[in-house]
Amino acid sequence: MSVVKTNVASMFKNNELQDEVLHGHSLSLEGDTATTFYGYKGILKKEDISFDNYEPTHIVISNFADVRENSNIKSKILITLVKGSYLKITKFSESINIILADGRVGYIDPRFIKELGIKDKNLIITNALSYLEVPYRWGGKTPLGVDCSGLVFMAYFLAGFVIYRDAQLKPPIVSIDPLEMQPTDLIFFEGHVAIYIGNSNIIHASAENGLVKIESLKRKDILKIGRYIF
């Protein structure tokens, strides 16, 4: 098992950006093809990957978090991590002593992370809203830019739930009757996915608008409604 050691590793397929794999996220490799723990496949640069064992304990929950050389706020920044990155904590102090996936030791503000394994479905919409006005980026999955499925994946992932990272209805999402739609359900269109937030509104990363927006659900081209069974 391998792991991403840079802040963000771009994953390509047929020379097209497919995904952004975040620091500390595990991969399996078969030849040149990497498969993420959430089932996405593509090609990564070898310099973005560590082949050493890495057992993360925490996840970054702020848009960006600097990892510094020591607890002095003026100390050298080793790396700036994005929301959703994994970290390994070694001890707690005024700042948190962490081990990066490349083996370096640094410090991070404890307000910017939380323990792995905490699940809270009430955070899904809050997480999605935190990306409002973020630019649309094909294959993106960070506060610098997201695509439609990247937004949906991160909203669930930051709440502790792993779903397929694509605009397709796949397990653990199941199809439901549109008349039963409720907040956090996913709305699938042709090549597009959005999150229903209630009151006939959706949040989605729109290529047409070029950013993450809340819009009224007026479209007639809905293919399916999907739900995570918590």
| Active site residues per annotation | 148, 192, 204
Report the C-alpha gap between 91 and 226 in whole angstroms: 41
Q: Assign 206 to helix, strand or coil.
A: strand
Report the C-alpha gap between 181 and 102 in whole angstroms: 44
Report the C-alpha gap between 6 and 14 in whole angstroms: 22
Report the C-alpha gap between 133 and 135 in whole angstroms: 6
Buried b (16+ CB within 10 A) or exposed e, 106-133: bbbbeebbeeeeeeeeebbbebbebbee
CA separation (Å) from 130 to 57, 81, 96, 189?
Answer: 23, 17, 24, 23
Report the C-alpha gap between 203 and 151 in whole angstroms: 9
User: Tokens representing 164?
Assistant: 């397929």
Alpha helices in the chain (DSSP H): 124-129, 148-157
Task: For tokens 């090609």, name the residue.
Answer: 43
